[in-house]
Structure 1
């Protein structure tokens, strides 16, 4: 356990480097390569790519959230900001209306900074950016503005794990806590279920970069997260997530001290409940069994992972 330290983005803001990072990130929007979809559209000029988001981020909601991992929630909640749009299209997404139907509103950098300040004022332990992979330039710009207003709590990057390493490097010392998904162990499953080409390679490279930046999870004297990485893995029916591959990767190439949340809450949602379109989607039309969940936990333990589940 460690005592609270000032977030790194404050130092970057004071030196002017954060503003430079924001400018460099925003340049990516002109021929967009912000995420692994590499759409090459001009988002500054109003074009939309896979994420269906232009030069401004779209927010669905924000507020204190108490359903996240205990190190993030504490007593006062995690200050979540849910972004609309996504760089994946998971067939089973439980936030389908937000991620794929863009149920939200455009938000300026000033408004986004204001939302962060209001969450801090409400006592939230952190600012938690949910589905941020496609709006990193807008986030960096808003953080720079919020830092000038007095923002001083840790920042959480809560993504699906489908992240571009070059974009993540712009977040070095900006993000304090990374919380990526490690969704799949096989690319064919990722493509069929999430429309994310090359997912496993991008996810693995992203997790390595995130861990390089922040290391394993560190908490303060009140067991509240202040820095590090939390990895989420959602168990899917018939082991479609290939948990044995994912856990082996985390243990051997990230850290056996990784905090891994093995999640059991899968339920049919999104397009899964529609007519059958593939054998994989058919498998997803039921919840997981207790044995399927225990198998994923067993995979973690066999790889000597021991935190978070």
Structure 2
């Protein structure tokens, strides 16, 4: 039970035994979907698909989130830690390439408890798929439980992170946490089928009108990480959903070919390894159907 929550940089101090934190989480895990998912990076969903567990709630509440239904509206079903452990085993039985924990930060103690029950029965990696706005101390709690880190690195500018996620300190915390993730899991390690068994993949989604901020992030990654330790996934899937407020009128369009290419070209100049996306990925068709499947 969490009586004064300090799991993320918000450090809201919520007594989650009888209320919820800024993330929307209380004492029980909330899950919106648990199923095989073939739309992650090729080294994550390389064969049958990642065994994704989509957790409801989020510590960022980005104004443009494609998973708005679960991150901001908190759609999902409350389950016990034992039920979560059973979901991990069932996904493995279904042929999942890994256990892919999506937006899991606010449920880290529950996840650790569930993994304590079944980690010895899992022969596939556990992936921590997060928004990057993490505390190093929380990442340290996960040592020995997580094999692959899949963090977002959303913003370099504090003005932009403040505007879209009310997190002016985003880069300060994300950069420290991501370096801790890399140190914890070490060099990239693949199986014979190209699946990532250990290591870190940093995701960055290019936003409309903010290619220069993206380039600064790419340059930071190149300056502060090793190509043996990190893959970089530069995403082109920003979708201008109807729910985005007119206050953010610059986000009412897709990323242009020029904007995206300027970012991936800079990454290539710096010798970074990883993944890019086709412009067709900017579509609502790629948003999972959060219908409580597999729960």
TM-score by length of 2: 0.90
Instruction: Supply the distance in 2 between the matched residues of 1:291 and 1:114 (Cα, whole angstroms).
Output: 46
Structure 1 residue ranges (4+ consecutive) displaced by more than 4 angstroms after TM superposition: none
Report the secondary structure of 1:31's partner residue: coil
SS at the partner of 1:34? Answer: coil
Decide whether the 8 Å contact of 2:211 with 2:263 is kept in 1.
no
TM-fit CA distance, 1:243 = 1.1
The answer on whether the counterparts of 2:202 and 2:231 sit within 8 Å (CA) in structure 1 is yes
Contact 1:58 1:84 (8 Å CA) reproduced: yes
Q: Which moved more, 1:215-224 or 1:185-194?
A: 215-224
Aligned equivalent of 2:101, options 120, 129, 138: 129
| Count of residues in correspondence between the two structures | 275
| Aligned match for 2:251, one of 265, 281, 284 | 284
- Determine if contact 2:148/2:185 at 8 Å carries over to the other structure: yes
Pick one of 159, 180, 189 that aligns with 2:160: 189
Matched residue, 1:33: 6
1:105 and 1:197 mapped to 2: Cα distance? Answer: 31
Cα distance in structure 1, aligned partners of 2:158 and 2:211: 11
CA, structure 1 residues 37+208, in 2 after alignment: closer, same or farther (shift >3 Å)? same
CA distance in 2, matches of 1:241, 1:262: 14
Query: 1:72 corresponds to which residue?
Result: 44
Cα RMSD between the aligned structures?
1.4
1:285-309 residue CA offsets vs partner (Å, 9 max, x unmatched) = 0001000000111221232213334
Say whether 1:116 aligns with 2:88.
Answer: yes
Distance 2:40 2:274 in 1: 16
User: Which residue of the partner structure matches residue 71 of structure 2?
Assistant: 99
Q: TM-score, normalised by structure 1?
A: 0.86
In structure 2, the gaps of 5 or more residues are 277-295
CA-to-aligned-CA distance 1:41-71 (integer Å, 9 cap, x gap): 111x212110111111110010000000111
Task: Confirm or deny: 8 A CA contact 2:211 2:262 kept in the other structure.
Answer: no
Higher share in helix: 1
